[in-house]
Structure formats: structure tokens, C-alpha cells
Structure 1
Amino acid sequence: MRWPKWRRRIMVALAAVLAVAAAVTVGHRVLAPAEVDTVARGAYPAAPAPPAGVIGRLPVAPLIVDGRLRVYAGTRQVYADQPVDGGHRTTPFWSYRRWPAELVGVLADGTIVVSHWSDGRLVALDARTGRVSWRADGPVPGLVPKPRRTYASTVWNPAGLHVARTADGRAVLVAAGPGLLDGYDLADGRRLWRVDRERGCIGVAGTTASGDLIGLDACPKPVTIEFRDAVTGAVRTRWRPPGAPKDLVVIPVGCREGRSGCRGVRVAGPDDSPGRGWLLGSGKPVAAPALDGTDTELDGEQALGTSAGVVTARSARTGAERWRRTDLGPVRILAVRPGRVYLLTERNDLVTLDPATGAERSRFPMDIGRDGTGWRPGRAYAGDGYVAVERVRQRAGPDDDDQAYFPMAEPVLLAAS
């Protein structure tokens, strides 16, 4: 028996409504903003003490946290694995994902891992468990260049994300976006202050070892360097180097981590000039002529430089030589950390020196398996006695895609020093 036309029309309309409702439900589940926090199921690992040498190879850049974990970045994920001295990346110890926002920066201080997202959200995780410690609304980042597949720029030099530690040990997170600076108590995510200016008028270069924020005020020109109290956001000092150009580029040096906790700056013009070095303290910066030039780094008040195959340590203030090494040949300074200066030789040997005396702590080829040393270094990082280096093709250029830029699937070498 055939149904009447009116009943068939009702059934067709009902089926259409149900189909639309199902599509909306599926679309909401797939496309709606969401976060997934997969916490650790095992115990927090102990900190190992591996012998000096190359530990392993990794497809992405590790951020060493608390000497126990390796933290990595992805497009929409921050995650950790262990053991820290493992030869390869392993199953995540914990993982945190967000959708549809993209991850733009990761910073670690002690056992707190902070992630900054493209929608401005700040999320702090407890490194011991992967659980969310706090969330806060922060400044929406400006244009951040797309990272290469190692995400080294995301975890080793996060744009607009810094920590200032005050004399009494209080840690303040500083997040920056176009025209905005925000300060947060790192322990609980409470916002302490905000500076809101016209887009392009204010920026941040890093934080000092004494707990100040190194800011840039560009409105009106000429650009002025500001040192702000990290707890209140108030400007302590406004300063321009004598004879400085109207526009300035400020490069922090001698930093505890990334561009946080820095003991000096190199100030240059926008024309790629080498710039002049300055030491940072409680007052106005002090000239440090030994820091002039791009081939020097800072350890305390000691400038470490490489030139014509000679490694030297000089007083940053006076330029008085303290020690020199002439037996290493052409080298590049990869990183400087308290008690260690990491050098890479022309043959890609990693040499670790004591910055106080120049004495050699360790030396070994940055090689593993049959990979060889026919590469040049890209980005590099050091923390908690570990060193990580990107391996880049000898003739790769900055505009090459990742396939042409990296010589292998696991381009990051991790070593213990």
C-alpha cells in the first residue's frame, strides 16, 4: 500500500532535518574549540648523569626541563618524553593539545612549562604531571614566522615570552603582543599589570638578571630603551646609548635561558652593524667594549670571543685579557651557560671549556651511527648540562624548504657535556 503524498513529504522533511542535525553535531565535535590534557601515568623520573658524548638524534628540538624531561612543540601540541638521555623520541610522558589555536611559544622555569597560543591564551603545565596549573588570557601574538619542522624557534627562542626573577626569588612571566605587554605571577597566573599602547609603539627584548624587563618605546622616535619593574610594570629607567641611531636593535647576551635573566645587551642600528656592548645592573647600562661585535658572548662580566682561530676571555668592562686558546682552530660559540662555554670546531667537534680558566672539560665529535659530520650547525641550545644542535645541509639557504634544508629525518643531535 502506498503512503499518501503528504505523509511521504513529512517523512522526507524529517529525514532531512535529522541529517542536518547529525552534520551539525559532528561538525561541532570536530571544529569546536577544545583542549585535551593527557597527564602522566608514571612517576616523575630521576635526573640522570650521563657521561659526556652524543646521546641520540631527534626529529624535533628538545627543551630540557628540570634535568629530567624533554619538552617538545607541535602545531597544536606541547608534550614531553623521558628519559632525558634517551637515544630517540619516545611515547609522550604527558601531552597537552588545543584546537583550533596554534602553539607559538613554549617557556620553562623550574617545573612550570608555559605555552602561548595564537589566540593569546597562556597555559601553564606542571612538568611533573602534565596537569594544567593555570590558564590566563594574554596578548594575541603578532606575526610569528612559521617554524621549521624541528620547532627549534618555538621552544629555544619563543617570541614575546620571558621570565623575570626578582631579588627575593619571585618569578614574573612577561608576555608581549603588538602594542601590549602583560605581567603575570608565574606561580598562579594572576595578571599583575598591563601596558596598552598603539600597535608598533612598544616591544620587549628580554629580561635582566636583576629582575627588570628590557622594553622598547618607539613612539615618538627616536627609539628609547626602558627598564621596567617586572612586578609592577613601572618604568625604572629610560635610556639611549650615546650616539645611537634613531632606530635600535637590542640583542640580549649572557642570558640564563633564551632571552631571560640577561646580564648584558648589544645595541645596534637596523643596518646589521655589529653594535656596541653594555653590561646591565641596577642602574643605567655600563659600556662593555669587549662585547662589541657579533662574535662575542657574555659569562658574568667576562666577554668570550672567537677570532682568527683564537678563543679569548676578556674583562667586558676593560678588555683586559684573562686567558686565550690558540689550539682549537676556527670555532663557533654555540652557547654559554654558568661554568660552561660550548664551542663547535670546523670538524664539528663539540668542545666544552671552563669559562673562568679556559680549561677543557670535554671534547668529542658531534656524530652518531653513520650520520657523519658533513653538515653545518643551525640553531643550538644548552641547558642542565645538555647541548642540542640542528644539523643543516652545507649549502642550504634560509629560503629552502625543510626537505632541502635538513639533511636527514632526525636532524637534531643531543649531547651531554
Structure 2
Amino acid sequence: MGWASGRRRFVAAVAAVGVAATVGVVAYRVLAPAEVSTFARDDYPARSMLAPGVTGRLPVAPLIVDGRLRVYAAPRQVYADQPVDSRSRRTPHWSFRRWPASLDAVVASGTTVVSRWSDGQLVALDARSGRVAWRADGPEPASERAARRTGTAVVWRPSGLAVSRTDDGRHVVVSSGDGEVRAVDLTDGGQLWRAAIGAGCHQPVGTSARGQLLSVDSCDGPTVIEFRDPTTGIVQVRWRPPDAGDELSATLIGCAPGGAGCAALRTSGPGDASARGWLLGSGEPIPSTALDDPGVELVDETTVGMVDGALVGRSATDDRQRWRVEVGPGRVIAVQPGRVHVLTEGNELVTLDPATGAQRSRFVLNIGSDGTGWAPGDAYAADGYVAVERLRRPVDPDGDDKRYYLTAEPLIIAAT
């Protein structure tokens, strides 16, 4: 009896060890740091040439890359589908997933897609194949990014990550985090420079048309705007508007997607009444009264804004009116080279040429039976396309995603 009882205890102990080992192996496979890549099997798609109109609706925000792909962000994944004019989201053309890091920001330049992750790592992907082009270490994000399910904050407003172009034509990826900013070469990820910045008091804004990194620095004394050289990381200018108060915020204007290559700047203190527009050049910013109004945008050296139901184009340098076109009540929701996009109160998308005011297209943003009884949220424009978030009326900023968005596919996308 004693021998049998001891044998049972021994067998039970061995079984317990085996179960524990199996659980450990499974847990390691599930929880261990890992990456999964799915490469493109189809050919790189050709550019589409579409007549103006709505092309589809999507559940998440697209980043249009090279006019051929739509790139999306998920909490731990960056992936692409094609063609760019597909009516709905399709099976991924390629995909890259990391664990346990979470995706913080995505930018693109040419055929390179750069992703930044919660551990600070930068991973560049070849948009044509989805293969990893290079990796580089960067500073960890200053805070966890707050993003709703569409992911617009990750792909359309990727603060802390930008691609800059230097005077000699080099493209530089600049990554800002808590207490540090680093720059790497877009070609191979090689580090160019790194610089210490104040923790919790230094906010990156974007890059100028000359490639400078702009940031708001409130670490020591009154708030100033820093202009940092993209090649060396050296701060070239520390500037603040004349007669500005201690509190100062800055918004870049006339930018490519992702806050890159911006041609102007708008500064303000508490409230919009103190807003002032400035053109960015080789020296200190130059005042531009045409950009003082927070509703005015800049594209192709022309400021555009709504005045009593008309879209008015003015010279950015001398505020001289260039053209005026009646479009009806609405607002400018996005601009891109050669196009300014106005959304009317009836949710018609009107696209005009910023140089002449000539209408390029006009149509209602509606698809299927969704209707037009929605409010616009974030908007994005690139490569002749416009994408707009559709929000449920009345808009409840504190509501959950189901209450906040119009449908399960709240993004509507159109060719203009």
C-alpha cells in the first residue's frame, strides 16, 4: 500500500511538472516578444485615374502611399491594401505586426512607410513588398497616444514623428520623445544626430518647407518656438512673436500629410482672438495677416478661407484678393497641392484650383443608404483623394465609438 501510494504521488508530481512545462511553453510562445510579417504576393499596383466622385467607405483611416496603396494602423499592426480606389477595405496586400509593443505613429515618404512603436523602435517598410527595409532605435513616446478606433491620430496626426527634407535633398526621419529627439536617414536608418530636450515641456509641432524641426519649448521662462536644423540637430533660432504673453501655442499650416514641409505657422495665446499668421522662410517668421483667421488654410502660396458663403483666395504675402467663388455655407476641410476642398453644410464636397478658383469637381459625399445627416470629423487629402470621418449628430466627444461614429464604416473616401 505504501509503495503504491508513493508511486501515485510520484506520477502525479511528474504530470504536474509536465503540465507546468507545457503551460510555460505555450505562455512563452504567446507572450514572448515577436514579429510577424506577411509580404505582398501580388504585383505593385498601378496608379488609378478616376473620375471625381465617392469611391468607397472604410472602417479605419487610410494613409495613401505613392498614389497606389492604402496603409492602415491597428493597435499592434501596420498593413496595406490595394487598389487605392477599392470600394471597401480588402485582404491585406502586406502586413507587419509586433508584440508586445503598440503602434504609436506612421508616416510615409515615396515608397517607404515608417512606423514608430511604444518602445521607441522605428521600423521602415518597403511599400512595394511589405518587407522591412531597416530598423532604428529612437526615444520612447512621451505619453501613450489617445486614438479612437479609426486611428486618425496615428496616421493623419502622427505628432512626434516626421519626415524632413534637407537643403541637399536628403530625407530625414525625426523622432521626438520624452527628453530626447533623434534623426535617422530615411534611406538606411543610420543615425544622424540625437539631442536632449526638456521632459514634459517640449512639444514637437512638425517640419518647415526648409526641413527644420519646429517645437514649442516652455521649459525655461516664457514659451518659445525652436527651429532645429534637420542635418545637424542644432537649434538655429529660438523665436517668439512680439508682444506675446507667457502662454503660447503653435499650429503649422500649408503642410503635407503628417505635418511635413509646412509653409506657414499660426501662433496664439489663450483663445483664438490672439491668433497671428506667419510665413516660414530662411530667417525668422514673417507676419501674414491673411493667415490670422484660424479657419484659413494655405496651399500653393494662396490663402483660402470662407467669407459669407464664398471661398476667397488671397496672396499669402500681401493679402491681395486673387479670386472669390460662391460655394454656399461650409468650411475648408483639407488642402493638397493643386486642390482646396470645401465641405458645405449639406455635405457636398467642392474642390477648386487654389491658383484660379476654378471648380474642379462638386458632388455629395454619400454612399449606399448612409445619407448626409452626419457631422464631419477629421479629414485628410493626398494624391487627389479626400477622406472624411462621419460622426453621429449631435456629436458627443465623450461618447464611446459606437455613439461617436455614424456607422461601423465611418470613413468616406472620394476622388476629386
| Shorter-chain TM-score above 0.5 | yes
Distance 1:172 1:273 in 2: 36
Distance 2:193 2:223 in 1: 23
- Match of residue 337 from structure 1: 336
Q: What is the RMSD computed on CA atoms of the aligned residues?
A: 1.4
- Match of residue 66 from structure 1: 66
- Match of residue 192 from structure 1: 192
Letter in 2 for 1:366: L
Q: Is the 8 A contact 2:340 2:354 kept in 1?
A: yes
Q: Is the 8 A contact 2:38 2:130 kept in 1?
A: yes
- Match of residue 415 from structure 2: 416
Letter in 1 for 2:209: A
Letter in 1 for 2:347: N
SS of residue in 2 equivalent to 1:22: helix
Q: Is the 8 A contact 1:295 1:307 kept in 2?
A: no
Letter in 1 for 2:53: G
Letter in 1 for 2:138: G
Report the Cα offset of residue 122 of structure 1: 1.0
Q: Is the 8 A contact 2:94 2:130 kept in 1?
A: yes
Distance 1:164 1:354 in 2: 26
Q: Is the 8 A contact 2:206 2:214 kept in 1?
A: yes
Distance 1:283 1:314 in 2: 23
Letter in 2 for 1:113: V
Q: Is the 8 A contact 2:77 2:95 kept in 1?
A: yes
Distance 1:25 1:274 in 2: 61
SS of residue in 2 equivalent to 1:369: coil
What pairs with 1:283-322 in structure 2 (closer than 5 Å)?
Answer: 283-322=283-322
SS of residue in 2 equivalent to 1:226: strand
1:31 aligns with 2:65: no
Distance 2:311 2:219 in 1: 41
- Match of residue 157 from structure 1: 157
1:141 aligns with 2:141: yes
Report the Cα offset of residue 2 of structure 1: 8.6
Distance 1:187 1:124 in 2: 9
User: Which structure 1 residue ranges, 5 or more long, are not aligned?
Assistant: none
With over 3 angstroms needed to count, the CA separation of the structure-2 counterparts of 1:294 and 1:144, relative to structure 1, is farther
Letter in 1 for 2:415: A
User: Which structure 2 residue ranges, 5 or more long, are not aligned?
Assistant: none
Distance 2:59 2:210 in 1: 36
Report the Cα offset of residue 190 of structure 1: 1.3
Report the Cα offset of residue 274 of structure 1: 5.3
- Match of residue 353 from structure 2: 354
SS of residue in 1 equivalent to 2:139: coil
Report the Cα offset of residue 143 of structure 1: 2.3
Q: Is the 8 A contact 2:142 2:200 kept in 1?
A: no
What pairs with 1:226-265 in structure 2 (closer than 5 Å)?
Answer: 226-265=226-265
Distance 2:96 2:394 in 1: 37
SS of residue in 1 equivalent to 2:221: coil
Q: Deviations over 1:2-59 (max 9, x none)?
A: 9544433332222221111111111100111111011111111111111110001111
Report the Cα offset of residue 151 of structure 1: 0.8
Letter in 1 for 2:72: Y
Report the Cα offset of residue 156 of structure 1: 0.7
With over 3 angstroms needed to count, the CA separation of the structure-2 counterparts of 1:211 and 1:145, relative to structure 1, is closer
Q: Deviations over 1:313-334 (max 9, x none)?
A: 1122321111111x21112111
Report the Cα offset of residue 396 of structure 1: 1.5
Distance 1:22 1:143 in 2: 37
Letter in 1 for 2:381: A
Distance 1:275 1:15 in 2: 72
Report the Cα offset of residue 145 of structure 1: 4.2
TM-score (norm 2): 0.97
Q: Is the 8 A contact 2:205 2:250 kept in 1?
A: yes
What pairs with 1:3-402 in structure 2 (closer than 5 Å)?
Answer: 3-273=3-273, 275-325=275-325, 327-402=326-401
Distance 1:311 1:274 in 2: 23
With over 3 angstroms needed to count, the CA separation of the structure-2 counterparts of 1:274 and 1:392, relative to structure 1, is farther
Letter in 1 for 2:333: L
Q: Deviations over 1:80-131 (max 9, x none)?
A: 0011101010100000111111111111111111111111111110000000
Distance 2:120 2:40 in 1: 26
Q: Deviations over 1:274-314 (max 9, x none)?
A: 51000001111100111002110011332111122121111
Letter in 2 for 1:49: M
Letter in 2 for 1:23: V
SS of residue in 1 equivalent to 2:172: strand
Distance 2:183 2:145 in 1: 24
- The percent of aligned pairs where both chains have the same amino acid is 56
Distance 1:43 1:2 in 2: 72
SS of residue in 2 equivalent to 1:89: coil
Moved more, 216-225 or 357-366: 216-225
Report the Cα offset of residue 240 of structure 1: 1.0
